[in-house]
Copies of this chain bind each other. A is one copy, B any other.
Amino acid sequence: MSDTSRTDYDRLVERLSARGLDVAAIEQRLADHRIETPSWGYANAGTRFGSYPPAGLPSTPFEKFDDAAEVHRLTGITPSVAIHIPWDQLENYGELKAHAESLGLEVGTVNPNLFGDQRYKLGSLANPDAAVRRLATDHMLECIEIAREVGSTGLSLWLPDGTNYAGQDSFVARRRRLHESLSEVYAALDADMELLVEYKLYEPAFYASELADWGASLLTCQKLGPKAKVLVDLGHHAQGVNIEQIVAFLDDEDRLGGFHFNNRKYGDDDLIVGSVNPFELFLIYTELAAMPTLPRLTIDQAFIVEHKIEGMVLSVVNLQEAFAKALLVDRVALAERQAAGDVLGAHELLLDAFRTDVRPLTAKVREEKGAAADPVAAFRDGDWWERVGSRRTAAATTGGLGA
């Protein structure tokens, strides 16, 4: 730690301690904070209008893990990597597990793909055609098998199923087919596995999505059993929806499975975490910080015009700062003011925490882990391009509709 950083850190500790906060305990919680990064976040991404793949993209699951290792090296809190099948399909998953371990990483949740096959045009697990449901269910079962091979306990489900036109299919029939397909998947889960059921208001379905909101996902989880939990993606809600309240309710129901973190201004924009409304991110972490254990925290973004590794690092930094600020909230005073109906007094306690510049604190925690005090600057000043990026030769693809 530089002398000036030390000065800022000491002064911050002094201020927080004076407020009665246990800074050591806060640092411990920050040190224990874990963010999973997605293998697909290191690969090419775009909109339906095409993508602009930069040079240096990874072309294999192994290279994606190399990039994830760089993020972990810089931030110190991203030791696991979610994989996506078939994008990360391999003959031998043991090799990926070994590669991960050699990098100080582990394989995280396994994410099936239920839209890439041409037969999924009208849906996957809820498709009117039993043969397609069989295909999708088998893919889910295959992903459970892969999870076993890589030592993962999390099976994610983002279901793209839905309809584009009124009348295209029966809401209830689709729902029942979905539940039937998922029952088979659920039955195949190991005792220590979780099924994470994501919801999304729209896209790719534009009339109705099977799992459009937390209510639909939660009902599905109830029907399946206690190993099924809801996964919250910050970009999958209608405008205005209060996400932090949903998080609190799901936790109160013991059904909060975890997050896909990103940020959005319009639709499912999949932007860098905290880039649109960092206060909302802080409020979500204010709920998380009150939980005895954190659920699975995963980034799910699509880096289109920005550098993918730098974008991932920035997202992790933003998550870490949101958690740090949430840990500064004076919970005792908050509860007192809430009980007293002191509307602004309670609100101002959150504001006070949010306004605090926690960078000295997160820098300290990172440095103690051997990571970078300022991960973004370290990446910009570093030699990743020379070491890694420039040696890759993945061909740029154009994609996009109508091409």
Check A398 against B172 for contact (C-beta < 8 Å): no
Check A402 against B238 for contact (C-beta < 8 Å): no
Chain B residues near A249 (CB-CB < 8 A): 171-172, 175, 216, 219
Which A residues between 119 and 156 are near B, CB-CB below 8 angstroms?
Answer: 120-122, 128-129
Partner of A335, one of B40, B120, B170, B239: B170
* Min distance, Cβ A341 to any Cβ of chain B, angstroms: 5
Check B242 against A239 for contact (C-beta < 8 Å): no
* Min distance, Cβ A232 to any Cβ of chain B, angstroms: 13
Q: Does A115 contact B (CB under 8 A)?
A: yes
Check B321 against A355 for contact (C-beta < 8 Å): yes
* Min distance, Cβ A318 to any Cβ of chain B, angstroms: 8
The stretch of A26-34, A65-73, A187-195, A344-352 in contact with B is A344-352
Contact A265-B128, Cβ < 8 Å, known A40-B402, A240-B239: no
In this complex, how many residues of chain A approach chain B with their Cβ under 8 Å: the count is 122
* Min distance, Cβ A287 to any Cβ of chain B, angstroms: 7
Q: Does A46 contact B (CB under 8 A)?
A: yes
A51 to B115, CA, bound (A): 9
Which A residues between 267 and 310 are near B, CB-CB below 8 angstroms?
Answer: 267, 269, 271-272, 275-280, 283, 286-287, 302, 304-307, 310
Check A344 against B48 for contact (C-beta < 8 Å): no
The stretch of A92-100, A101-109, A198-206 in contact with B is A198-206
Check B347 against A266 for contact (C-beta < 8 Å): no
Check A171 against B244 for contact (C-beta < 8 Å): yes
Check A212 against B396 for contact (C-beta < 8 Å): no
The stretch of A159-167, A365-373, A385-393 in contact with B is A159-167
Check A350 against B167 for contact (C-beta < 8 Å): yes
A116 to B403, CA, bound (A): 8
Partner of A207, one of B4, B7, B242: B242
Partner of A168, one of B8, B15, B49, B346: B346
Chain B residues near A17 (CB-CB < 8 A): none
Q: Does A332 contact B (CB under 8 A)?
A: no
Q: Does A24 contact B (CB under 8 A)?
A: no
Contact A401-B165, Cβ < 8 Å, known A47-B48, A249-B219: no
